[in-house]
Every structure is written in C-alpha cells, then in structure tokens.
C-alpha cells in the first residue's frame, strides 16, 4: 500500500534550485500528486511538475499560457495574446525580453517564478501536456 | 531428515545464485553498467592530477564506438566524433571545472534486436568551475548503443529539448 501511494500517487520530492523562489524554496520538501489532472487540464498560474526521462527527477514550473495562446516578455512583464498578465507570485525584479511565440496544440508554456536571473540561465518554454507528472501537494 | 533439509537449502542457494548471475548478465544490466562507468569517469575531484585526467578521459572514449554522433542544439558540441575525439572533447569539457559529478536517473532501456539499444535517461551535472561559479544542470538525453564483440558502446547522444523556448 505504501509503495502504491508513495511510489505512484504521492511521490515525495525534495526541491533543488531556486527557479521557483520565493514560492518554493531550495531544499524544501513536497509531494507530486500524480492525479492532479485526472479530470482537468492545466490552466494559467498552475504550478506543475514536468517530467524528464522519468518521475524521479522533475522540473517545477508555473503555467503562464496554454495551447493556442501567444506568449511574450517585454521589460520583464508577461504578455499573453498581447495583454499584460498580472503575476503576483513574481516578487523579484525582472528585465526579460522575449519576442512573441505561439503555444502549440497539446502544449503548455511554463516558466519559473524567479525571474531575477538572466533569461539565458533560466529553463522555461513550452512542453507537451503529456510531460506533466503532476502538481505539488502544497 | 537433516540431510534432506540441507539438500533443499543447497538447491535454494544454487537457484538464487543462478538467478543473480542471470540478472547481472542481462543486457539491460550491462547497459546500466556503461552509464555507471560514464558517470564515474566524467566525475572530477578537486586536485585531480593530469594522470587521472588522462585515464578518465581515455576511459570515456573507450565507452564509445568508432564513430559517435552528438546532437546538442545550442552548443558547439554537435557533430560526429571518433572515440579519440570523444576523449579530447571530454578533457576539454572537464577542464573549466575544479570538481564535477554526473548522475544518471530514470534509465529507460529498450533493447532492439541483438545488437542495438536506445536509452532515455535524465542526466544531472553538478560542478564548481575554476572561477567559483556553481553549475547545476539537469537534462534529458536519448542515447543509442551498439553491441560489438560483447561490449555495449555508445554511438549516439542527443539532448532532448524538454522546454522549447
């Protein structure tokens, strides 16, 4: 039973890195709730866990746009379909500039909350929905 | 009676050994060992001497087939290399670091036929550069291996773009 729960449903996580500061801290613990999108799909502002080759190592990012939407950054502000999006979870100054691009069908666009680092040093972008391993439990 | 129990115990032990040997010799296990070796030889400890460096980078080259293709978009590493060139590339890549560790997780191995295998894996690189900067990078890789003369050799490394900017 413990194997079923903690091996497949509520997978323990230890957070490494600062890309989701100040929302989630380096060294923090959480669980990946793998059934978070059993009956729904990710929407803007959701925090999701993106799997790589498996579920043992995942990327924690926030959804900023969904399929079909246009995404851009101008002077650190997020624009979706030409309109600026209010992001209260972004607390550190940001000066990113990224030209508009469309989110492909079946994809979502994810970015970390910590945008104080150089844009080139931050992993973000669109990823297939199938790569979403789950959501953090808190 | 005691002899009977002894024989049963002996049979169980022998069966266990046979199963263990079979598991250890399975192709997937052999391939996993190649990744373990790659991680070990890519690693660098502070104060590593030149002899160790040469041994490790040569060992990395020995894991690769005569020609090995690297696909790494956004870097200058993409291309086809001989195993000697792979050794030189490994030496160049390790040079800026005072310490380095490479770790492989979530290996998904697919053996195709007698001599081919494709592996999807998560690779984590942790290191400290000579100028003090910490590097912590996690990527997904697709690797292909070919079995030649009983050894699995890498023929292809590709960085998978998980997040397309």
ipTM above 0.95, yes or no: no
Contacts of B138 in chain A (CB under 8 A): 52, 57, 59
Checking if the pLDDT of B162 tops 90, the result is yes
Contacts of B140 in chain A (CB under 8 A): 52-53
Tokens encoding A77: 């502000």
Look at A125 and B108 and tell me if their CB atoms are within 8 Å: no
Checking if the pLDDT of B24 tops 90, the result is no
DSSP state of A103: P
By Cβ distance, the residue of B122, B136, B165 closest to A52 is B122
**Whether the Cβ atoms of residue A62 and residue A112 lie closer than 8 Å to each other:** yes
Contacts of A52 in chain B (CB under 8 A): 106, 122, 138-140, 160, 162
Residuewise pLDDT in 10s, chain A (138 residues): 888 888 889 999 999 989 999 999 999 999 999 999 999 999 999 999 999 999 889 999 999 999 999 999 999 999 999 999 999 999 998 999 999 999 999 999 999 999 998 898 899 999 999 999 999 999
A124 touches chain B (CB under 8 A): yes
B-chain residue closest to A110, CA distance: B163
pLDDT tens readout for residues A7-34: 889 999 999 989 999 999 999 999 999 9
- Residues 6+ positions from A135 with CB-CB distance below 8 Å: A32, A33, A36, A37, A46, A47, A48, A49
B-chain residue closest to A71, CA distance: B165
Q: Could you tell me how many helices (H) and strands (E) chain B has, helices first?
A: 4, 6
């Amino acid at each position: 039973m413990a194997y079923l729960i903690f091996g497949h449903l509520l997978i323990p996580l230890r957070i490494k890195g600062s890309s989701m500061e100040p929302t989630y801290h380096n060294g923090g613990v959480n669980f990946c709730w793998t059934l978070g999108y059993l009956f729904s799909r990710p929407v803007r502002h959701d925090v999701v866990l993106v799997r790589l080759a498996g579920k043992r190592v995942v990327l924690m990012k926030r959804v900023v746009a969904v399929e079909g939407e246009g995404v851009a950054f101008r002077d650190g502000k997020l624009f979706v379909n030409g309109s600026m999006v209010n992001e209260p979870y972004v607390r550190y100054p940001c000066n990113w500039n990224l030209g508009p691009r469309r989110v492909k069908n079946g994809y979502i666009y994810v970015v970390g909350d910590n945008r104080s680092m150089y844009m080139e040093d931050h992993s973000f972008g669109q990823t297939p929905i199938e790569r979403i391993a789950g959501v953090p439990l808190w | 009676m005691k002899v009977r129990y002894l024989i049963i115990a002996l049979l169980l032990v022998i069966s266990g050994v046979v199963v263990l040997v079979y598991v250890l010799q399975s192709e997937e296990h052999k391939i996993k060992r190649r990744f373990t070796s790659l991680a070990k030889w890519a690693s660098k400890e502070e104060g590593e001497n030149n002899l160790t460096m040469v041994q490790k980078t040569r060992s990395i080259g020995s894991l690769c087939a005569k020609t090995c293709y690297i696909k790494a978009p956004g870097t200058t590493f993409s291309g086809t290399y001989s195993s000697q060139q792979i050794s030189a590339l490994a030496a160049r890549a390790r040079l800026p670091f005072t310490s380095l560790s490479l770790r492989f997780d979530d290996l998904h191995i697919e053996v195709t036929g007698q001599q081919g295998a494709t592996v999807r894996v998560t690779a984590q690189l942790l290191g400290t550069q000579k100028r003090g900067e910490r590097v912590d990078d996690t990527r997904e890789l697709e690797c292909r291996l070919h079995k030649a003369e009983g050894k699995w050799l890498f023929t292809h490394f590709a960085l998978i773009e998980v997040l397309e900017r």
